[in-house]
Structure 1
Amino acid sequence: MLRQDFSSSRRAPLRPRSQYFFERGQIVFPDGTTRVTVERDPMPTYIARGEGAYLVDVDGNRLLDLNNNFTTLIHGHGYLPVADAVADLLQKGTCFSNPTEHELGLAELLVHRIPAIEHIRFVNSGTEAVMFAIKAARAFTGRSRIARVEGAYHGAYDWAEVSQGASPASWGPENMPASTTSYVGAPGSVAEDVDVIRFNDIEGLERRLAISGQELACILIDPMPSRAGLIAPDPAFIEAISILARQYGILVVADEVLNLRQAYRGASARFGLVPDLLAAGKIIGGGFPVGAVGGRKEVMEVFSCLSARPALPQGGTFSANPVSMVAGRVAMEALTPTSFERLEEMGVHVRNGLGAAIARYDAPFTVTGSASLFRIHPKRQAPRDYRQAFPTTEERSWIANLTSHFRQLDILLPFGAAACLSTTMTNADLDLIVQAFGDFLETHESDFGGVSA
């Protein structure tokens, strides 16, 4: 395939309508938007509609979407089977205080497909899923303390947030990471109840559990934490978690809200982790709000109210609402083993292409990820944990320039350069990603000499 000439495309995008909407937003929202995750360059891009792998913004710009609402839209935008199923449902009612058959369909699919899930409960977001998984571990073990991996993102539950945004100024020594709260005014007692471990650090895990293993309800782990670097787990680290958890009577909680898309049976099955509880979300809602916590029947009994007040009461006005359940079932049914094989091939194609471009220009970058996920790091060596992945000021500048370059070529690359693919993308879309990155490296080739290794 001939290399595309991007010279005519490299321009500052015209976004007067986005500017207009942002000005309106600043009147009603504290910072002009209603999500801290909304990216600005220097203002947010407002979207009019989605079409498969592409977005069309309010100014008519058509963008290849590598965000997909933070990995949620694995089938891209406007996926017709979901749209048709939801449209058929809307006039029949969108939510009830009673259960419906629709929650059974999605539950049966997930219990059948995901080895760690024997029983399941639906909630409304990934944050809720992680929160109730932690609470379930506490209710089952009678312990309150938890352990979690430094830098991994687990939503907005106080204990799950500890040290997810740690920096060199706050993260403490390498052999004993500090527990830091995530927002001003957070109770210090929250951090005191959370032990922080480093990803792929077996000795550190052993050291921590030797001190407080008898007090821990659970170890919370994302099998491939995106915000912490999208780094593959060391099989020996996964094995150590399983062995030590059994030794100390600790439950293993896998956060697969994002990484369920790693394989047909999810990330834990892919990487050899056998969790007691699993939090899911994003792709299981077909583009609608959803979360789920599932796990061993014995542990999930803490939610049961058949004989008495449950050890852990859990409800939610919109939990298991028919719209999310139907959309999720249809989307998940379309994710067959063949679909995941194709996504795997697509991911390999892109990561190999990015790697080849790095080698061609001897550029100070590396690529991590697996399946349909990839992340570009402005580092010559692939990181093994959050601290190694943490960018310097200079590296942040490189990533900002990279994101801006992609945006000028009508490709929406998230600011952290952690991206995902969707089933609706074509080979031409994948080649476009690789070519855009190569174009960036060629443009900046003369600058690499001054970049530290």
Structure 2
Amino acid sequence: MSEAISLIRYGQHPLAQRAREVMTRGNTRSTLFVDPAPPYAVRGSGCRVVDQFGAEVIDCNNNYTSLIHGHSIPEITQAVSGMLADGTAFGLPTESEVALAELLSERTGHERWRFSNSGTEAVMTAIRAARAYTGRDVLIRFEGSYHGTADSVVALDAPGVPAGVRSDLIVVPQADRVAFDAAVADAGDRLAAVLIDLMPNRAGLVPAEREFVQHIRQTTERVGALMIVDEVISLRLAPGGFASEYAITPDLITAGKIIGGGFPVGATAGRADVLAVFDPLAASNVGWGGTFSANPVTMTAGRIAMERFGVAETDQLNLRGDALRAALTRGGVAVTGFGSLMRLREAVDFTELWWAAYQRGVMLGTNGLLALSTAMGDADVSHIERAVIDAVDSVRERNNS
């Protein structure tokens, strides 16, 4: 990448200036902002993205883990393009959602599936289902985990969250068994569900302790509450989802990201009797719409993406991620994660680190996330390794000077 591309050049570019006139800080998604302004993507192919300056980078962000095969997959592009003349959304269900649900059910073992348009919606659906099924109100979740942007799953002191939300929530530290047991006792027979991400990105991609996860499963069964596992990011880590690595079967999971084939998607899955709360013919049912939920474009793209990501592909990508994480560790970089997902854990300015990696041809998540894709070959992973180690070293030197 040309050294002429500097931070100030991005900040002063006419597109960034136009964007700031109509959007706060020039973009819609808070997670994409880097100071003074992010580059703007023009096109992507395979594991690479080209920005408005023509700079080409290896994409280790992959739209925050959703592009499991990278960009512009010919098979998906051809299938979706062929659908456009027949319609992109209907006021009727289509066979495409049946086909994706069948594939995912067979892959994961979860009985029933309900699609939406984002991970946030999937989590909202799961929480509503748990409360409706149990007839209880209280949700226990864990500090530092990201479950979307609904009031019930963001920080209780976040601006705009009403105080009343707190009455039905208990937030405890991850892996703190004493605090968890105390929360369960405090909730008593009002506990509807426990929501957990087994490797939360915002908390550093540190896998949860096996004994703690199994304790949650045993506890929820004992007190008649449901266990919801957020698999929006972690579903890629094992054919049955990351929960299968812990030898547990949650009552509900939330999914998204890779199951949409590059299009907006979310899903809630799990026990048939729990998801029966949405049965429109039931005497008392939860009404839950969604204008673009299960649209045939997303469902078709998602089915093709998941067909291309079977057991062999999952294992191969995880091995590649394990090897990269080991190489970064040998290179002196602090990194955590599992399989194809990892987080840089350096005590440096992450804006500086993001730009340092970008200028070396690698695009990270703004929090130091790396998500590998099947589009990456050995040469790409070697480039990532060298670029990240060099970027970390350069930022350390600047921070220590």
Q: Normalized against structure 2, the TM-score is what?
A: 0.95
What's the secondary structure of 1:91's corresponding residue? helix
Matched, 1:228 2:169: no
Could you say which residue in structure 2 is the equivalent of 1:190?
165
Q: Which of residues 241, 245, 256 is equivalent to 2:231?
A: 256
Give 1:135's aligned amino acid. Answer: R
What's the secondary structure of 2:104's corresponding residue? helix
Matched, 1:315 2:289: yes
Q: Is 2:10–2:36's contact at 8 Å kept on the other side of the alignment? A: no
Give 2:316's aligned amino acid. Answer: R
Q: Which whole-Å CA distance do the structure 2 matches of 1:62 and 1:230 have between them? A: 27
Deviation of the 1:137 alpha carbon: 0.2
Give 2:196's aligned amino acid. Answer: I
Matched, 1:61 2:61: no
Q: Which of residues 383, 386, 395 is equivalent to 1:432?
A: 383
Q: Which whole-Å CA distance do the structure 2 matches of 1:355 and 1:84 have between them? A: 40
Deviation of the 1:17 alpha carbon: 10
Could you say which residue in structure 2 is the equivalent of 1:97?
91
Unaligned 5+ residue runs, structure 1?
A: 1-7, 164-179, 359-364, 379-394
Matched, 1:288 2:263: yes
Matched, 1:370 2:338: yes
Could you say which residue in structure 1 is the equivalent of 2:221?
246
Aligned length: 400
Could you say which residue in structure 1 is the equivalent of 2:353?
402
Could you say which residue in structure 2 is the equivalent of 1:387?
none
Give 1:432's aligned amino acid. Answer: H
Q: Which whole-Å CA distance do the structure 1 matches of 2:25 and 2:367 have between them? A: 20
Question: RMSD in angstroms over aligned alpha carbons?
Answer: 2.0
Where do residues 40-439 of structure 1 align in structure 2 (5 Å cutoff)?
40-115=34-109, 117-161=110-154, 163=155, 180-184=156-160, 186-310=161-285, 312-358=286-332, 365-378=333-346, 395-397=347-349, 399-439=350-390
Give 2:355's aligned amino acid. Answer: S
Q: Which whole-Å CA distance do the structure 1 matches of 2:395 and 2:270 have between them? A: 49
Q: Is 2:126–2:228's contact at 8 Å kept on the other side of the alignment? A: yes
Q: Which whole-Å CA distance do the structure 2 matches of 1:93 and 1:446 have between them? A: 55
Q: Is 1:119–1:296's contact at 8 Å kept on the other side of the alignment? A: yes
Instruction: Deviation per CA, 1:401-446: give whole Å up to 9, x if none.
Output: 3222111112111221111000000111111121123323554676
Q: Pick closer, same or farther for the CA change 1:29–1:110 going to 2, 3 Å.
A: same
Q: Is 1:181–1:190's contact at 8 Å kept on the other side of the alignment? A: no
Deviation of the 1:273 alpha carbon: 3.2
What's the secondary structure of 2:36's corresponding residue? coil
Q: Which whole-Å CA distance do the structure 2 matches of 1:11 and 1:370 have between them? A: 36
Q: Is 2:10–2:38's contact at 8 Å kept on the other side of the alignment? A: no
Q: Which whole-Å CA distance do the structure 1 matches of 2:47 and 2:384 have between them? A: 12
Q: Which whole-Å CA distance do the structure 2 matches of 1:446 and 1:150 have between them? A: 33
Q: Is 1:122–1:320's contact at 8 Å kept on the other side of the alignment? A: yes
Deviation of the 1:30 alpha carbon: 3.0
Q: Which whole-Å CA distance do the structure 1 matches of 2:397 and 2:232 have between them? A: 41
Q: Normalized against structure 1, the TM-score is what?
A: 0.84
Q: Which whole-Å CA distance do the structure 2 matches of 1:216 and 1:419 have between them? A: 36
What's the secondary structure of 1:279's corresponding residue? strand
Q: Is 2:356–2:395's contact at 8 Å kept on the other side of the alignment? A: no
Percent of pairs with identical residues: 41
Q: Is 2:254–2:269's contact at 8 Å kept on the other side of the alignment? A: yes
Instruction: Deviation per CA, 1:275-327: give whole Å up to 9, x if none.
Output: 101111111100111111111011111011234351x1111111111001100
Q: Is 2:360–2:387's contact at 8 Å kept on the other side of the alignment? A: yes
Give 1:326's aligned amino acid. Answer: T
Q: Pick closer, same or farther for the CA change 1:282–1:209 going to 2, 3 Å.
A: same
Deviation of the 1:267 alpha carbon: 1.1
Deviation of the 1:234 alpha carbon: 0.6
Q: Which whole-Å CA distance do the structure 2 matches of 1:77 and 1:129 have between them? A: 24
What's the secondary structure of 2:344's corresponding residue? strand
What's the secondary structure of 2:31's corresponding residue? coil
Q: Pick closer, same or farther for the CA change 1:93–1:445 going to 2, 3 Å.
A: closer
Report the structure, 1 or 2, having the larger helix content: 2
Deviation of the 1:329 alpha carbon: 0.4
